Amino acid sequence: MTRVAVVTGRARGIGAATVEALVEEGWAVVAVDRCADDPRLPYGLATEEELRDVVERAGGADRVVPIVADASDAAAMTGAVQSAEERFGGLDAMVAIAGVIAGGVPLWEMPQEQQEAVLEVNLLLRRQGWRHRPRPRPRRGAARHGRDRECRQPRLDRDRDPR
């Protein structure tokens, strides 16, 4: 069975390399990138052309589904997860790589809008990924309740020390 990942920030850098590595390892990937500049940052972000290039380098549309969306948009991330489930039958990993840099100056000298962009993308987007992470599913034949486990947790009403 093919494992499936949603990867954010995948049109460049670490995100693109991660998509390519996952596909090499046999994974299918839903690749999410906003493909638009952030006016708060002093440089351009990835483009749709770069996203298409990564899809081609990683093995084409049969292994990688590109989605142009902002990872901070909850509805867009829900859509990415739904794409993984519909196209590949499920989701095994959520990889939140989207990130930005700003600087060249000490943090206290960085313009406020750049600080906000860095914190929003590098910190708050992780929370969005956490919300859409795959939930553990019991494997066929695995215990589903604590009482089915060989090693059970002690219960105060049943396992009291008789002293």
Residue 142: its pLDDT value, please? 36
* Number of domains within the chain: 1
Residues in the chain: 163
Per-residue pLDDT, 135: 60
The pLDDT assigned to 19 comes to 95
Rounded-to-integer distance, Cα 58 and Cα 38, Å? 26
- Residue 113 domain-assigned? yes
3-class state of residue 61 by DSSP:
coil
pLDDT of residue 150: 39
For residue 90, tell me if it sits in a domain. yes
Q: Region 17-43: what's the mean pLDDT?
A: 93
Classify residue 67: in a domain, yes or no. yes
Q: For residue range 45-92, what is the model confidence (pLDDT) as tens digits?
A: 999 999 999 999 998 989 999 999 988 888 888 899 999 999 999 889
Q: Return d(Cα 120, Cα 115) in angstroms, integer.
A: 9
Give the count of beta carbons closer than 10 Å to the beta carbon of residue 26.
10
The CATH code of the domain that includes 69 is 3.40.50.720
pLDDT in tens, 105-162: 887 888 999 888 888 877 777 666 566 666 644 333 333 333 333 334 444 444 444 5
Instruction: Domain of residue 111: give its range.
Output: 4-137
Give the span between the Cα atoms of 41 and 13, in whole angstroms: 17
13 in a structural domain: yes
Residue 57 near residue 14 (C-beta atoms within 8 A): no
> CB of 37 within 8 A of CB of 12?
no
Helix (H, G, I), strand (E, B) or coil at 134: coil
Asked, for residue 16, whether it belongs to a domain, the answer is yes
Res 153: pLDDT:
41
| pTM to 2 decimal places | 0.73
Question: Residue 157 domain-assigned?
Answer: no
Q: First CA to last CA across the chain, in angstroms?
A: 54
The reply to whether 148 falls in a domain is no
Q: What is the mean pLDDT of the chain?
A: 79
Sheet with 4-8, side-by-side order of all strands: 64-68, 28-33, 4-8, 93-96
Backbone phi, psi, residue 122, to 5° = -80, -20
Residue 154 is assigned to a structural domain of this protein = no
